[in-house]
Amino acid sequence: MEARSVDEIPRGREWKYEPKWDGFRCLLSREGSSVDLRSKSGEDLARYFPEIVAAALGLKPDRFTLDGEIVVPQGKGFSFDALLQRIHPAASRVKKLAQETPALYLVFDLLATAREKQLAKAPLSERRPALEAFTKSYLKGSIFRLSPATASYATARKWLAQSGGGSDGVIAKRVDLAYQAGNRDGMQKIKKFRSADCVVGGFRYATNKIAGRNVVGSLLLGLYDDEGLLHHVGFTSAIKTQEKPDLTDRLEALIGEPGFTGNAPGGPSRWSTERSAKWCPLKPKLVIEVCYDHFSGGRFRHGTSILRWRPDKAPRQCRFEQLKQKLAYPMKLLK
């Protein structure tokens, strides 16, 4: 069951709302002594989260299927960076991290039990009470936690306004529909988008040339800390093709070391090529306002979109403090 992205929280009696967790979506199935953890893309996650497998095997019911999210707690919230570290090829490393940063499985749907094998065909109005009863009987005091749900539009708006720290929006589900496997008809997601003024501390050239010349492919964004160091926090590649030649001229005139004086863009990784890892440092002269959906671990989690250039803003005014917000602290929402 997948979600369709929308701009506003839908209203009406046919909707129920849940926090949108910032983790790994995962179907968990147990059949006797076998436990399967399956990602949204169909990948097997069981080897990376042995503590969840062990917890599932320790439950009294020996046949059930749950839909939920894998997260790693850190403080009052969840850490996506710590979650990413769990995806490691070495079994010894996985075992060590399972002990140091154990995961939680946040449950938000029950699709089958030994008695109700076709529960997924029932509407959410029946599946949710069945999930709550299942949780009360079998999941208390374990690494399984019930994800909250509400019919209150006001509560959903509050969750959206306070999203962050492991929750990055709101999910709306149709209470009158069965589990919509493989489509987006029964579920919508709404994210909280924010804006930030950032210094352009560097840029990368695009792989493809325009009219035989190299042009900008992405802008590297920076924010200042309290010590006056400029840290790399993300990028934007949402640059219109027709604007790239003139923007490249503007950027090349500002090329100069060091660019970022704090954390700088890293080198090649398993997701990048040698070319994509190369970047040009810029003198801190340009300020751009970008739109983002989530900030964690000192950087924007995803690529940002450009809202406008800010020639009226001094680069030194672009500081981390503008990102501060009141969070709901996801751990407080869990039962």
Mean per-residue pLDDT for 103-129?
97
- Which carries the bigger pLDDT value, residue 37 or residue 328? 37
Q: Give the count of alpha carbons within 13 A of 33, CB side only.
A: 0
Is a pLDDT exceeding 90 seen at residue 248?
A: yes
Give residue-wise pLDDT tens across range 159-216: 998 887 788 899 999 999 999 998 889 999 998 778 899 999 999 999 999 999 999 9
Q: What percent of the chain has pLDDT over 70?
A: 95
Share of the chain above pLDDT 90, in %: 73
Q: Please give the pLDDT value at position 268.
A: 40
Global pTM value: 0.73
Token pair recorded at residue 135: 């949780």
209 part of the active site = no
CA dist 174 and 4 (Å) reads 12
pLDDT score for 304: 93
Q: Please, what is the end-to-end C-alpha distance for the chain in angstroms?
A: 24
Question: Looking at the predicted structure, is the pLDDT value of residue 329 above 70?
Answer: no
Counting Cβ atoms within 10 Å, is residue 311 exposed (0-12), middle (13-18) or buried (19+)? Answer: exposed
Structure tokens at 246: 């003139």
State whether residue 313 is helix, strand or coil: coil
Residues 16, 20, 173, 192: which is the catalytic one?
20
Over residues 262-285, the pLDDT tens digits come to: 999 974 433 344 444 589 999 999
Query: Can you give the pLDDT at residue 277?
Result: 58
| Helix H or strand E segment including 146 | strand 144-146
pLDDT in tens, 2-24: 898 888 999 999 999 999 998 99
Average pLDDT value for the chain: 91
Q: Side-chain half-sphere of 66: how many Cα atoms within 13 Å? A: 32
Average pLDDT over residues 100-120: 96
Q: What span, in angstroms and rounded, lies between the C-alpha atoms of 171 and 116?
A: 25
Pairing label, strands 24-31, 216-224? unpaired
